[in-house]
Amino acid sequence: MATSDKIAAVEEITEKLRNSNAAVVTSYTGLTVAQLKQLRRSLGENAQYRVVKNTLTKIAANEAGIQLDEHLSGSTAVAFVTGDPVEAAKGLRDFAKDNPSLVIKGGVLEGKALSADEIKKLADLESREVLLAKLAGAMKGKQSQAAALFQALPSKFVRTAEALRAKQAEQGGAE
């Protein structure tokens, strides 16, 4: 590869790393072209899966301020994730279950290095939308509890005041 081509490749990988929420480094040895196409489709629109050269990717990762060196050996491909990292991690994990030739080496999530086990744990999380829906449901439940509490306070005050007035009237009538 000519020097200008290498420079352009490093710049492209650097830009992808900077613009991605996450990047997952994999080994793809033994996968066919058809399987790689299937993997790219399974990742969806929010992730791009690219076969990369290790030396150029090391340079690009250093320029982007990301540590990937320990994962860049052998045949390497990177999933650049611009959308929900959980969704992409699930896609990679599920594909790897059916195709053991795909090995997740590690990656990075918002600048923090991740091991292969951490990426698998990330895949076990529910999607961002589901987590937000659960949070909204919990908040709605707490709001209704607070509203019931605020409604109960005035009525309890009225009942207490009425009981006190009745007690005073009873004591006043007894004298």
pLDDT tens per residue, range 55-98: 898 888 888 888 888 888 888 888 898 888 888 888 888 888 88
Per-residue pLDDT, 141: 66
Which of 3.30.70.1730, 2.60.40.1890, 3.40.50.410, 3.90.70.10 is the CATH number of 3-125? 3.30.70.1730
119 class by beta-carbon count within 10 Å (0-12 exposed, 13-18 middle, 19+ buried): buried
pLDDT tens-place string over residues 89-137: 888 888 888 888 888 888 888 878 888 888 888 777 766 677 677 777 7
Q: To which residue do tokens 């040895």 refer?
A: 29
Category of 80 on φ-ψ map: left (φ > 0), alpha (ψ -120 to 50) or beta? beta
Please answer whether residues 31 and 102 qualify as being in contact, where contact means their C-beta atoms are separated by less than 8 angstroms. Answer: yes
Per-residue pLDDT, 70: 83
pTM check: above 0.75: no
Residue 45 CB contacts under 8 Å (≥ 6 apart), including other chains: 83
Higher pLDDT: 59 or 146? It is: 59
